Amino acid sequence: MAALLVPEATTQIATVTGAGSASRTDERFGIHATDLGILWDGGDGRVFVLFGDTYGRGWGGDGAGPPDADWRCNVLAFSSNRDLDQGLLLDDVVSRADGGAAQVITSGSGREATIIPNGGIAVDGRHFVHYMSVREWGRPGTWRTNYAGVAVSGDGGITWDKPRSARWPNKWGKNSRFQIGAFARSGEHVYLFGTTQGRFGPGYLARVSTADILQSSAYEYWTGRDWADRESSAAPVLDGPVGELSVVYNVHFGCWMAMHLDEDRAAIVLRTSDELTGPWSAGEVIVSGRDYPALYGGYLHPWALDGPDIYFLLSQWGPYNVFLMRSRLTERHG
């Protein structure tokens, strides 16, 4: 059984985006406000940092901005600094002609409010992002999706395709279990943790060979005992409520870690397991909404997994920007 990891202290290191950020994202990239910040190791000396709905000049200063405030559904930045105690510094972005950050995963047609990224991974020189097509927003913590899918880039994140072969439709009344997703790799498989639309469902697990990431029909689903071909066979591996999620292997502690938003506790929690299939710990509060109101996200930095300190990105709705956090963990046995 993996050791229970508890935080000794959690501190905010730096503002990553917006006015006053170390990278001056408002001035350099037209990023005045944004959220999420999905992180993955690009395999080329950079960490990829993919943000959600992003606003530029004209942002209202509280929460998401109006569509005419240079709204982009997602933007991609790159970071190479390893001294995270100095902050997460953004070197560059995928840019448009005026130098501002460009939307990288294109929006669809019809009833689609936005395209939101959920998780990313690099495999054999290509980059894969799990994303969701949001049909409409509901009350806080709820929304309805059209489908989730995997986008792919073969040119270092500059351009992205959204193949139809890599989609999980969210049919009315069916409530697909992989509308929010987080990737992890172990051996010759890529694993995909998934949740239903919104932030209140449990977490499920699928896997696929590295060669078949773009074929949703090739994924196998963990039933609690073995792997099956049908998504409907998937059994929860993470008790809900599970919101935005990231999963990594921590070399220092020798276990898998899952970080996610827990809406019921209004907190970002950390869970551990020896195996991706579980059993997973119940989750220790890493950051509380009492200290950081309207918090969400919680994306672990892939270059800070070999010591007692973990670093992760946190979003807050009011400031509608992203912050780098650090937690020192200690093991508790028994």
**CA-to-CA distance for 329 and 250, rounded, in angstroms?**
11
The pLDDT of residue 173: 67
**CA-to-CA distance for 184 and 298, rounded, in angstroms?**
15
The pLDDT of residue 108: 86
Q: Which sequence spans correspond to the domains of the chain? A: 4-332
Tell me the CA end-to-end span of the chain in Å, nearest whole number: 10
The pLDDT of residue 109: 78
Phi, psi of 153 (to 5 degrees): -130, 135
**CA-to-CA distance for 199 and 269, rounded, in angstroms?**
13
The pLDDT of residue 1: 62
Q: Residue 26 corresponds to which amino acid? A: D
The string of DSSP letters for 259-298 reads EEEETTTTEEEEEEESSTT-PPP--EEEEETTTSTTEEEE
**CA-to-CA distance for 318 and 144, rounded, in angstroms?**
22
Phi, psi of 200 (to 5 degrees): -120, 0
4-332 topology per CATH: Tachylectin-2; Chain A (2.115.10)
The pLDDT of residue 334: 56
Residue (of 198, 220, 222) closest to 209 by Cα position: 220
Q: What is the pLDDT along the chain (334 residues), one digit of tens a residue?
A: 677 899 999 999 999 999 999 999 999 999 999 999 999 999 999 999 999 999 999 999 999 999 999 999 999 999 999 999 999 999 999 999 999 999 999 998 789 999 999 999 999 999 999 999 999 999 999 999 999 999 999 999 999 999 999 999 998 767 899 999 999 999 999 999 999 999 999 999 999 999 999 999 999 999 999 999 999 999 999 999 999 999 999 999 999 999 999 999 999 999 999 999 999 999 999 999 999 999 999 999 999 999 999 999 999 999 999 999 999 999 987 5
